[in-house]
Chain A
């Protein structure tokens, strides 16, 4: 149980275009979802926290107008990278939590974004 599906697993896009990444909890309702980016050989960097039905909370230094997060239902959150640039190329991962704050995080398998 507790499967999180992230789609697409990889995407290549041209500079200036927008890319949407989906994160779905398949067999549980996720009250909270998190979005991260990870550079090679580095730790996960939390970008934002989203709760269903409310605006996402962004970490310091993350542009909310560039990284649009929508958490419209208890099983789906989306991250849209708008006007992507080569420096946005990274590994983006989502995680979802079903219950209390100490519940384990269930991660998607990530999306490799390459902006050319």
Chain B
């Protein structure tokens, strides 16, 4: 079956460190991946999109990579801050426009 998995339910790191979140997929070939941030009781907010023919995308302290060989996308937040604490969702879109949502990783950045 086709699955999308985010590496862990929760990730705790110290302020200033780099947070790395993982999104893996099996039996599936996404055309592109999107990463969203969701705060409690709110709707997700779009952060970054990366296409299957792109290796890396950056936006300020955020970086996303896409490795179609490993079937994996990594999402990095450098110089993390307590304000970065949230749940981060990986969303994959296939070539026939179907969407798959990861369960999310809850990131906590401790001061």
**Which of B51, B89, B97 has the most chain A CB within a 10 Å cutoff?**
B97
Q: A101-B97, A110-B41 are in contact. Are A44 and B89 (CB under 8 A)?
A: yes
Is A4's CB under 8 angstroms from B97's CB?
Answer: no
- Pick from B43, B49, B106: contact of A104, CB under 8 Å: B49
Is B31's CB under 8 angstroms from A108's CB?
Answer: no
Main SS at interface, chain B: strand
Q: A42-B103, A43-B102 are in contact. Are A105 and B46 (CB under 8 A)?
A: yes
Is B103's CB under 8 angstroms from A107's CB?
Answer: no
Minimum CB–CB distance for A56 against chain B, Å = 15
| Interface membership of chain A positions 1-28, coded 1 if the CB is closer than 8 angstroms to chain B and 0 otherwise | 0001010000000000000000000000
Which of B's residues lie within 8 Å of A, judged by CB? 9, 31-32, 34, 36, 41-46, 49, 51, 89, 91, 93, 97, 99, 101-104, 106
